[in-house]
Structure 1
Amino acid sequence: MAQIITSKEAANLINDGDVIVTGVDGLTGWPQEIVDAIEERFLREGHPKNITSIRASGGGNFTSPTAESQYLHEGMMTKSISSFVSVCPDLAKKITDNKIMGWMLPLGVFYQMYREIGRGMNGAMSKVGLGTFMDPRNDGGKLNQLTIDKGEDLVKYVPDFMGEEYLYYTLPKLNIGLMRATTADKHGNISCEKEPINIGLLSQAQAVKANGGIVICQVEKIVEVNQIHPRMVKVPGIYIDYIVVAEKPDEIMQNWIRSNKDGYNPAFTGEAIAELEEIKPMPLNDVKVMCRRAIKEFKPGYVINFGIGMPTSIPNVLNEMGQSDMVTMITETGCIGGVPALGKDFGCSWNVEALCDHGDHFSLFDGGNLDAGIFGLSEVDEKGNVNTSHLNGKIGGVGGFANISLSSKHLIFIGTFTAVGIETKIENGKVIIVKEGKFKKFIKKCDKTTFVAEESLKKGNDIVFITERCVIRRDKRGMVLEEVAPGIDIQTQILDQCEFKLIIPDGGPKLMDPELFKE
């Protein structure tokens, strides 16, 4: 039966060299008071040191020194294993500067590993990541020279298993599980009614217990046994060793930007239904144009996943058009239905219809049941391969991208044609490039690859890149310049800004629909 302890007592349970797995996405699920106590203990005693931090998603909010920044004192955390690090800039810099070891693996594969470890296996086999930087024939997911020189090999290449090639993913032995929930009863059963995402807590707890470790959960309140409906229990008490009751529940973060006290949104958890008129229409700009053009790729009844960044604006535009019901909108976090939220509300959905477990949700992707995946356009080479993990000297993240891009039947990438400092405006139905970006996105060859276009084409998938000035489709011919926006000079503003030769179809590219550029 779970013991109720203080956060300070929880911190004393962490030993030097422990491998800590945390259920987190941004700041959703982050057990802040436990981590505060762990950090305070290290600053006071110098322990725990040499810890390894494992997360399927990234922990942080892109700006403030929270979440894993608190582990970055000299000697405290020496290894980081996740699918996403740019959400915590301090961590990304430590890895870039070769100060700590870092591995990046596909988000969905983490949950598959948790499940396999939980049933006594060592890891999980997957086709996700083949040919990318996570393939051990390339970097094996290792993010810096320190990891290449001293880090263990977490990924193995399996050239022939029943006639097919795979990658076999493993993790160090998980012995500490940290998680956050809303309510616990006196037997340790926990529920997550105020969490906007189901972050695979059960599979993580099972993996830790299979390794003989301990699971610690922070909650807002304790209730009597049977006061939590049994169907609401996310992790049964038999998997929970210790419960910490938060002393400052108002400061608990619902997501990256909303706390219980400031901005908590019950429409993200199913506790309330919001009037979608609350979502303000976007102004007419390059982002809105790209979103409108992406919507033209949709077919009624599509199940569509919206990635981080610019794709999160598409649901807003669909809602403004009165077309929200044309497709089923989902997010990689397990939100199904409703309208995916913008910006740093990413991962949550307004009026969500179903909250699938994060790990279970990836079976939808890996099973090939996603009609379309919408992704930000980061860096693309002449073969249509995409790099999302290492951009302009900075480490970003692969997140769920590797899983989703491999199996989506229709891949739609949206983003500006160049990066960093680009300025555009829509005027009189035309696109005007006020200032060109510092970096080209369409380059000769990606240094790191997170999406292999040829493998996707073999499956019969459709691949299109939508920018503010043109549309490029990758087909069996190569990278084809299919459409050009009004006001754009093909030679100076497209061909000269691309490091490889685009294929020009017979008769030249079409003009993008002029209606896209009107109020």
Structure 2
Amino acid sequence: MSDSVVSLIARKKIVNDPDFVLSQIKDGDVVAISGFNEITSPDYLIERLYRLYLKTGHPRNLFIISDTFPGTPGRGLDSIAQMMYKRGDRDFIRGMLVAFYGWSETLQKMIKEEWFEAYAWSIGILAYWFREVGSGRPGVLTRVGLNTTADPRYDGTALNETAKERRTVKVQLLNIDGKEYLLYTAPKPKFALIRGSTADEIGNLSLEDEVAYGTVLNIAQATKAMPEKGTVIAQVLRVARFGTINPKSVVVPGPLVDYVVVAPREYHRQSHSFDYDPIVAGRVIPPADVMTAQMESGLDERKVVARRVALELARLVEKYGRPVVVNLGVGIPAMVGEVAMEEDIQDLVVLTVESGTWGGRPLYGPDFGVSIGAFAVLSVPDQFTMYEGGVIDAASLGFMQIDKYGNVNSFFTESKIPGPGGFPAIASGAPDIYYAGLFTAGRGTKYEVADGKLRIISDGNIVKFVNKVDKVGCSSKVMIENRKNVLYITERAVFRLTPEGLELIEVAPGVDLEKDVLAKMEFKPIMKREPELMDPRIFMPKKMGMKEELVKAIRV
């Protein structure tokens, strides 16, 4: 490509004034925004879009779709939601489809107060959807979500009454060769706001400073697909000369990008807690002492749960005689990574996270999606192929409620609507599932973990083991039909899924079965025999010695 042509393209694509390109978005348009929390979230474009609306009154009534959620508390879409709520501004957004609202308490309030129509799909379904729309297909055909709140016989992924009335986003039940499937459809995006690290003069995007690839390419593809080719706007940190980016490093080819906007550094963080760290970007694989730095060394009830999950993963290593590949969900499950590092079994229990990372130590909280020392990173659609297809060996996922049948509610209560995240697709595919969480919830909970025992000093006032969950995020019927091995692991008790319902199989040493377990449930679990005691090593401050046991189990 000649220098004159490159210069001509650059003058059109590389823009200094974001308002010039963002003003092309019209009232009522569908806008796709990349972002797995702060990972690949174009915070600068998001804020400038809202500032443009405040200044001109346009664009308004936007429908926003994201592969996960573009932002974290106080950043990205949450920052805009806070401004909207404070102003009482109901005109900027008419609808939203994302996978996870959990980092925005404000958006959750707005959903409950019917500010706009709100929907939530699994991360995997959304990532696939962008790829399918980019391929010219109508949506995602899958069995994920059957007999759950995603099923059109229930809520069809609608989170409020406004969504149930308008049904801009649809889920249809289909029968193919005697089997039920769900078809997920949504309006095709007309504009896309995506993010890369570097753009060259013709718009080729590389993501070398980012934590992961996310769904950036697929969002661009969906926007550019027929029947109406849309506009892709990319936020980057820098512009490079054409030809200086290695072709294999280009994630989004330049012809798919219409405009490039260079963002101030403060609007382009790698993750919630990281501005830039070469380790987080995967440019440097750190030594073990760096990977374990800042790990929580104390032993509390949350780590007790993570340790009990780790023991199950170790049993899988022993069963198969090889390393196992595992997914860790947000919350307590993500802490299993710290246990694996502490026990030095991370090479035998390979940890993956929905953002696309393999190996290393997954972080949690708003930094979920980052893995310190990951050895591989896939795009989100490719990662979810591993999950939904059951390529992985097991998954540990969080929960908000569990009922007597073993149904799991992972994303909806009267006070919170975090959304499903990656939960439905992972639970659908993983052959072994270990749901992990605290037995009760609420303020004032206090535990003491010492001398191989658990003592409950004061308990939470919110019962999580209920007769019927508020919303079904994962169906026990489907899990049983698919012959999954399912455990529900808490700090004081462990249950197993059976065709008859939930069976209590273990209790923690030091716990009173009647007072601390049965009295804090809305139903009586199946007890075929006296529950065993959980492994006392879980409740001791020293290491559990898992590596020595597992090395012997590996068959050469």
TM-score, normalised via structure 1 length: 0.95
Structure 1 position 329, deviation (Å): 0.9
Structure 1 position 293, deviation (Å): 1.2
Following the alignment from structure 2 to structure 1, what is the Cα–Cα distance between the partners of residues 296 and 30?
A: 45
Equivalent position amino acid for 1:227 in 2: T
Work out whether residues 42 and 267 of structure 2, in 8 Å CA contact, stay in contact via their aligned partners in 1: no
Equivalent position amino acid for 1:242 in 2: Y
Worse-matched range after superposition: 473-482 or 436-445? 473-482
**1:150 aligns to what?**
166
Following the alignment from structure 1 to structure 2, what is the Cα–Cα distance between the partners of residues 44 and 110?
A: 32
Work out whether residues 114 and 204 of structure 1, in 8 Å CA contact, stay in contact via their aligned partners in 2: yes
* Runs of at least 5 residues in structure 2 that lack an aligned partner in the other structure: 1-8, 318-322, 542-556
**2:102 aligns to what?**
86
Residue in structure 2 matching 1:127, options 135, 138, 143: 143
Residue in structure 2 matching 1:389, options 394, 411, 416: 411
**2:552 aligns to what?**
none
Alignment of 1:47-126 (within 5 A): 47-61=58-72, 63-64=73-74, 66-70=76-80, 72=84, 73-126=89-142
Equivalent position amino acid for 2:123 in 1: L
**1:429 aligns to what?**
452
Alignment of 1:197-208 (within 5 A): 197-208=212-223
1:217 alignment partner, SS class: strand
Structure 1 position 79, deviation (Å): 0.3
Equivalent position amino acid for 1:295 in 2: A
Worse-matched range after superposition: 229-238 or 289-298? 289-298
2:538 alignment partner, SS class: helix
Work out whether residues 69 and 90 of structure 1, in 8 Å CA contact, stay in contact via their aligned partners in 2: no
Q: Deviations over 1:336-382 (max 9, x none)?
A: 12221233321111111111011111111121112110111321011
**2:502 aligns to what?**
479
Alignment of 1:206-225 (within 5 A): 206-210=221-225, 211-225=228-242
Work out whether residues 133 and 188 of structure 2, in 8 Å CA contact, stay in contact via their aligned partners in 1: no
Following the alignment from structure 2 to structure 1, what is the Cα–Cα distance between the partners of residues 413 and 495?
A: 21
Following the alignment from structure 1 to structure 2, what is the Cα–Cα distance between the partners of residues 153 and 19?
A: 12
Equivalent residue pairs, number: 511
Identity of aligned residues (%): 32
1:297 alignment partner, SS class: helix
**2:516 aligns to what?**
493
Equivalent position amino acid for 1:382 in 2: K
Residue in structure 1 matching 2:467, options 424, 444, 448: 444
**1:406 aligns to what?**
428
Q: Deviations over 1:102-129 (max 9, x none)?
A: 0111211112211121121221211111
**2:285 aligns to what?**
273
Q: Is 1:296 matched up with 2:296?
A: no
Work out whether residues 303 and 330 of structure 1, in 8 Å CA contact, stay in contact via their aligned partners in 2: yes
Structure 1 position 68, deviation (Å): 4.5
Worse-matched range after superposition: 23-32 or 268-277? 268-277
Q: Deviations over 1:27-60 (max 9, x none)?
A: 1112122222211111111111000110120222
Work out whether residues 47 and 76 of structure 2, in 8 Å CA contact, stay in contact via their aligned partners in 1: no
TM-score, normalised via structure 2 length: 0.89
**2:182 aligns to what?**
167
Structure 1 stretches of 4+ with a deviation exceeding 3 A read none
Following the alignment from structure 2 to structure 1, what is the Cα–Cα distance between the partners of residues 99 and 267?
A: 26
Q: Is 1:242 matched up with 2:259?
A: yes
Following the alignment from structure 2 to structure 1, what is the Cα–Cα distance between the partners of residues 136 and 364?
A: 40
Following the alignment from structure 1 to structure 2, what is the Cα–Cα distance between the partners of residues 393 and 250?
A: 32
1:54 alignment partner, SS class: strand
**1:137 aligns to what?**
153
Equivalent position amino acid for 2:507 in 1: V
**2:204 aligns to what?**
189
**1:232 aligns to what?**
249
Following the alignment from structure 1 to structure 2, what is the Cα–Cα distance between the partners of residues 178 and 472?
A: 44
Q: Is 1:375 matched up with 2:389?
A: no
Structure 1 position 250, deviation (Å): 4.6
1:317 alignment partner, SS class: helix
Residue in structure 2 matching 1:21, options 4, 11, 32: 32
Q: Deviations over 1:389-415 (max 9, x none)?
A: 212432111011000011111101111
Q: Deviations over 1:116-172 (max 9, x none)?
A: 2112122121111111111111011111112112333511111x1122110111111
